[in-house]
Amino acid sequence: MKQYLCGNSHCRILTVVLTVLVTVFCILYIPEQASSDTPNEPPTIPIPLDPLVKASSYPQTESEYVPGEIIVKFKPAASADEIASVNSICSASLLYTSPHASYSLISVPLDKTVQEMVELYSQNPNVEYAEPNYITHAHWTPNDPYYDPYQWHLDNSVYGGINMEAAWEFLGAPGNPGTGVIVAVLDSGIAYENYGAYCRAPDLAGTCFVSGYDFINDDAHPNDDHGHGTHVTGTIAQSTNNGIGVAGVAFDACIMPIKVFNAAGSGTHADFSDGVHYAVDHGADIINYSGGGNTSSTTMENACAYAYEHGVTIIASAGNEKEEGNLPSYPAAYDDYVIAVGATRYDEARAPYSNTGSYLDIAAPGGDVTVDQNSDGYGDGIVQQTINLETKDPCDFGYYFMEGTSMAAPHVSGVAALLVAHGITGPDNIRQALESTAEDHGTAGWDEEYGWGIVDAYAALNYVSKTLTISTSNGGTVTNPGIGSFGPYVLGQVINISTSPNSCYYFVNWSGDTSTIANASAPSTTITMNDSYSITANFAPTSATYNLTINSSEYGNVSIPGEGPSGPYACGSSVNLSAIADSCCGFVNWTGDIDSIANPNAASTTILMNGSKTIQANFIVTPWDVNCEGAINVLDMILIGQHWGQTGAPGWIPEDVNGDGTVNVLDMILVGQHWTG
């Protein structure tokens, strides 16, 4: 066996003849020289010519139950003759009787539906229950041929891995897990493009990538010349359900490749800091850093703080030095800013190399290539595609088993991406969702071996899938967050809820799932989302009454309801208004408390009594109907002309028609011409 240290990525490369044993281990800034002997080439899993295909027992159907049959459980007291009589009456025949649960499968005649037969049997006094024979389905699994059994770390029937199949199913498998989320992978680069001497990994052909940066070579092409970064990326977002290779956790997420490790697997704190700032400034939601070392620095800590303060979650490997002193590994040990991930084996025991300590937050499969606990013929490492780890040929790819907390961290980053796509954002919320739903191991609750436990993708998604449905009775609305369904919310998240009653209504209470509402009698309060809830804001009409006071100007009066005070009127009642102008005069408008008058410019209208009101009807002398006959015509013009020959003319001459600044005979001439022309 030959061991090669690869700088500061948390992985160790081990090669053994006839066995694939590939791991990675890191010591920051202290790379050990490789043996002068040329190691044996690490074998890869051969790609089968035909991908595995799994068939279901039933043909695909839109029905959710088996057509042509129902399940019937007859009462224990029913005799065989009575059962036969029931079947005969229903024109059905017995298909099968379970020797274990004593139910029967009954045929459905051609002229009946399944639901009709269920209803017929349910009405018979000899029947305990009747129901369709519903169909269940196995959880969706990707068709990548190496997924089963080699990717035990994602899911397996014995220990469960990180429960990915239930999580994918929950998201509507295959669906688009992680869509819209950007995960920055700060590592040795990624085989993400065909550029110069570099090639895109075949099993990353369908993976989404966004622009990244190479801080080692100072260019915009962060390609992988080591192999570590491509392997890590595969666990997060390997092209999945594409009929080749292996699967990734959040396979619809986008990856931002950021190269901070050189070809030997080493980098600096300055490289890390630049990489973090680049990721944050260019839209990353999650940062995966599968590396670290035993030295802390202000530069590294400040970079982690920068990400945290800008709402970006950093997930880092906890280190592989358990057997070499178990010193804290940075940046994982910056517990205020970073989620530290330890490693477990197939049997969910802590991997022997995985660091422990007060900074450990959560664990995930990191593998142990020294054992084959699942009996698949290979050491129990984490398998993904990457470049040839011996020749470092960037266009020669294979599937390698690797172990380390480097391999554990991307499992958590992938689940974090699923959470972000599911509506949970921000480092604190993501941390809470991951840690609160982790599968507990070791000492109950948090412990130094597992943190809060092994990440569980399905449980984490359920944790953040709490929804709040809000409705109202008549008489008001909910202003925050509104009416309808809202969420998803993190378990325990506190939501502000507030109401606004309509006029003449008041808030009564909240009803429904009120157990976690701080004050169900308060119109503005909070609800704690310990589950999904449905609540209703209830309103009732007030018993208040109001008075209406009406005034009027000259030249008219108010006939309905009359001038002066009137009432009382019930809150919300509508009162008719009618204003009548004197002869030769016209109605102008209503003024005063007119906010609830249907049309303040109409002489006949209504007013809503949502408070005591004082209003006035306004009138003017009609300017052109001089003789008050109800029409404006030439006779009015003659009277106007006669009027101009008199002194002390009243002020009903209408306007300065020619715009010369005065109202005079010239204006009357123009008016006369208009009426005669």
Q: What is the pLDDT of residues 510-521, one digit of tens each?
A: 999 999 999 999
The answer, yes or no, to whether residue 27 has pLDDT greater than 60, is no
360 or 585: whose pLDDT is higher? 360
Does residue 329 share a domain with residue 450?
yes
Alpha helices, DSSP H only, in 437-553? Answer: 457-463
Residues 434, 460: contact at Cβ < 8 Å? yes
Helix (H) or strand (E) holding 88: helix 80-89
Does position 286 have pLDDT exceeding 70, yes or no? yes
Whether residue 334 is contained in a domain is answered as yes
Which of the listed residues 460, 478, 512 is the one where a domain comes to its end? 460
pLDDT per residue as tens digits for the range 547-584: 999 999 988 999 999 999 999 999 989 999 999 998 87
CB 236 within 8 A of CB 413: yes
Residue with tokens 């499992």: 411
* Beta-ladder partners of 113: none
Known catalytic residue: 667?
no
Q: Looking at residue 130, which CATH number applies to its domain?
A: 3.30.70.80
296-321 mean pLDDT: 97
- Residue in this structure with the two tokens 């939501």, named with its chain if needed: 495
Answer whether residue 21 is part of any domain: no
550 shares a domain with 528: no
What average pLDDT does the segment 269-276 reach? 97
> Looking at residue 423, what DSSP letter applies?
T
pLDDT bracket for residue 21 (50, 70, 90)? very low
For 493-508, write each residue's pLDDT tens digit.
Answer: 899 999 999 989 999 9
Mean pLDDT of 200-205: 98
The alpha carbon of residue 292 and the mean position of all alpha carbons in its chain are separated, in whole angstroms, by 32
- Check whether residue 440 and residue 501 sit in a common domain: no
Structural domain for 482, as ranges: 466-541
pLDDT band with cut points at 50, 70 and 90 for residue 674: low
Q: Tell me: do 258 and 336 sit in the same domain.
A: yes
In sequence order, what are the beta bridge partners of 131? 71
What pLDDT score does 586 carry? 84
Portion of the chain with pLDDT greater than 90, in percent: 72
Asked if the model's pLDDT at residue 43 lies above 50, the reply is no
Tokens representing 29 are 């800034």
Closest CA to 194 of 215, 209, 177, 173: 209
Q: Are residues 653 and 615 in the same domain?
A: no
Q: Which residue has the tokens 């809820």?
A: 497
Q: At 224, give phi and psi (nearest 5°).
A: -95, 120
Residue 251 lies in a domain: yes
pLDDT above 70 (res 32): no
Same domain for 533 and 472 = yes
Please count the other Cβ atoms lying within 10 Å of the Cβ belonging to residue 194.
10
Q: Are residues 439 and 527 in the same domain?
A: no
Q: What is the DSSP string of 12-44?
A: -EEEBTTB--B-----TT-PPPPPSSPPPPPP-
Q: Could you give the CA distance from residue 256 to residue 234 in angstroms, rounded to a whole number?
A: 13
- Say if CB 466 and CB 492 are below 8 A apart: no
Q: What distance in Å separates the CA atoms of residue 584 and residue 342, rounded to the nearest whole number?
A: 94
User: How many residues are given for the chain?
Assistant: 677
In degrees, to the nearest 5, what angle opens at C-alpha 426 toward C-alphas 422 and 429? 75
Q: If pLDDT is split at 50, 70 and 90, which confidence band does 487 have?
A: confident
* pLDDT above 90 for 385: yes
| Residue 249 and residue 365 in one domain | yes
Alpha carbon distance 42, 550 (integer Å):
98
Give pLDDT, residue 670. Answer: 67
Which of 438, 460, 482 is where one domain is finished? 460
What is the rounded distance in angstroms from the CA atom of residue 649 to the CA atom of residue 238? 96
Q: Structurally, how many domains does the chain consist of?
A: 5
Q: pLDDT-derived band of residue 623, with 50, 70 and 90 as boundaries?
A: low
Residue 640 has pLDDT above 80, yes or no: no
Tell whether 526 and 650 lie within a shared domain.
no
Q: What is the pLDDT of residue 17?
A: 23
For residue 633, name the pLDDT band (cuts at 50, 70, 90).
low
Residue 406 confidence (pLDDT):
97
Active-site residue among 9, 406, 413, 552?
406
pLDDT of residue 10: 61
pLDDT digits (tens, 9 = 90+) for 413-461: 999 999 999 988 899 999 999 999 999 999 999 999 999 999 999 999 9
Q: How confident is the model at residue 60 (pLDDT cuts 50, 70, 90)?
A: very low
Report whether 338 contacts 430 (CB < 8 A).
Answer: no
User: Within this chain, do residues 210 and 318 fall inside the same structural domain, yes or no?
Assistant: yes
pTM listed for this prediction: 0.63
* Same-domain pairing of 493 and 453: no
Report pLDDT for 9: 52
- d(C-alpha 263, C-alpha 567), whole Å: 90
Give the CA distances from residue 372 to residues 161, 458, 602, in Å, rounded to whole numbers and listed in that order.
15, 26, 90
- 230 domain residue, yes or no: yes
Residue 15 lies in a domain: no
CATH number, domain of 410, equals 3.40.50.200
**Cα–Cα distance, 579 to 593 (Å, whole number):** 16
Please indicate, yes or no, if residue 491 is contained in any of the structural domains: yes
| Residue 512 · residue 448 · CB < 8 Å | no
Least confident of 65-79, 87-101, 125-139, 201-215: 125-139
pLDDT of residue 50: 24
Task: Reply yes or no on whether the pLDDT at 524 is more than 70.
Answer: yes
Indicate which residue of 148, 187, 625, 667 is catalytic.
Answer: 187
Q: Which of 10, 153, 228, 422 is catalytic?
A: 228
Residue 643 annotated among the catalytic residues of the structure: no
State whether 405 and 422 are in the same domain. yes
Catalytic residue status for 228: yes
| Stretch among 396-405, 468-477, 653-662 having the lowest mean pLDDT | 653-662
| Of 413, 432, 460, the domain-final residue | 460
Q: Is residue 47 part of a domain?
A: no
- Residue 65 predicted with pLDDT over 60: yes
411 lies in a domain?
Answer: yes
